[in-house]
Amino acid sequence: MLSDDERQAPRALVAHALTLVGRIHRGDPDTARAADRELARWRQVSAVNAEAAATAQRIWNATAAEGLREELPKPLAAREERVARRRVLGLLGVSAMAALAAGGGRWYWQRPVHEAALRTGHAQLLSRTLPDGSILDLAANTTADIALYRDRRFVRLAGGEVRFDVARDPDRPFTVETDWGRVQVLGTVFTVSSRDSRMRVAVAEGRVAVWASSTAGSAAAQAGTGELPPLMLKAGEAVEADAGGLGGRIAIDESEVADWKQGWLVFRNTPLPEAVRRWNDYLRHPMRLSADPAMNGMRLSGRYRLREPQAFLDSLRDMLPVRVVAAADGAIEIAPRR
């Protein structure tokens, strides 16, 4: 139930922390506020105190029965408090063993062994190697939350794009979730993006299973029954999903997966507004489209170095009926050619 570090926390310190935690949760408002302030000060005194406080909080959270919590209802007199602490410490062993036996160690398996919140800003890239050996590369303006468990690995991509190089582990499937769908693998290289109200998955190596948001909830059932998921992608394939579900397979060049990681932006029949938004993740002075509806229907293809946005602008005039003008504030305005 507890990690090795937590087991090393002195029992007396854990007992003191549990007393304060109990006051916070079960005392009247004034008592709870005072205990919260005292616990905050106490845990900052030393790393040992901080570990004991964390251990106490996890024990409190993990106790399904009310027995432990009933031991700490309100502040006690000094003698009564010492007696209560001893009773609580004795109850800890019983509660921990009962929870593991009755619940099959459910809490133990549900507790993350590693968590991280990764963020990138404008024109910023980030590479992170996880404890399992998986490598995540974040494009600009990306937000991803990671939780590794003993039986699974999970990433919530709120926005942006991530390249995943997943370390193979048959006992711990790797899942990426967005508002528009879910991707699951054992080990492979692929990207997931969440932009413009849709998800895009592109595979460079291996195979991935993709569910749209409307069917993502059935993924566990499908895995349990052996049924095929809605879509399996292999290297050189991509798919997009939005509120309407999954689209069709798209053939891609594996070398273009996570093009931004290699310093390129690659467009294949890409809507002009999307291409401009991707450029603006990296430009100091943004490109700005006019409000003319005709701009939304324009598409383009090409491969451009991130360091050379002017080459993109120069080719834009040749590919599409647009004009490019520098604005007074430094932005680049793109409008239909009349």
Whether the Cβ atoms of residue 210 and residue 191 lie closer than 8 Å to each other: no
Which regions of the chain carry the CATH code 3.55.50.30?
A: 263-336
pLDDT reported for residue 14: 78
User: Taking the CA of residue 269 as centre, how many other CA atoms within 13 Å lie in the half-sphere pointing to its CB?
Assistant: 3
pLDDT reported for residue 52: 81
Q: Of 207, 181, 302, 201, which is closest to residue 250 (Cα–Cα)?
A: 201
Which regions of the chain carry the CATH code 2.60.120.1440?
A: 114-254
The tokens of 123 are what?
Answer: 């024109």
The low-confidence residues of the chain, meaning pLDDT below 50, are 1-8, 64-78, 81-82, 84-85, 88-89, 91, 94-105, 216-227
For residue 267, give the 3-state DSSP assignment.
strand
For residue 25, give the 3-state DSSP assignment.
helix
The tokens of 240 are what?
Answer: 């997009």
pLDDT reported for residue 308: 93
pLDDT reported for residue 27: 65
pLDDT reported for residue 243: 87
Instruction: Give every CB contact of residue 238 below 8 A, 6+ residues apart in sequence.
Output: 200, 201, 202, 203, 249, 250, 251, 252
- Hey, what CATH class is 114-254 in? mainly beta
Q: What's this model's pTM, rounded to 2 decimal places?
A: 0.65
Q: Of 258, 251, 265, which is closest to residue 315 (Cα–Cα)?
A: 265
CATH 1.20.58.100 fits 263-336, yes or no: no
pLDDT reported for residue 49: 84
**E-strand stretches of the chain:** 114-119, 126-129, 135-138, 143-148, 153-165, 174-178, 181-185, 189-195, 198-205, 207-212, 231-234, 237-242, 245-246, 250-251, 264-271, 287-289, 299-305, 322-326, 332-336
The tokens of 113 are what?
Answer: 């062994």
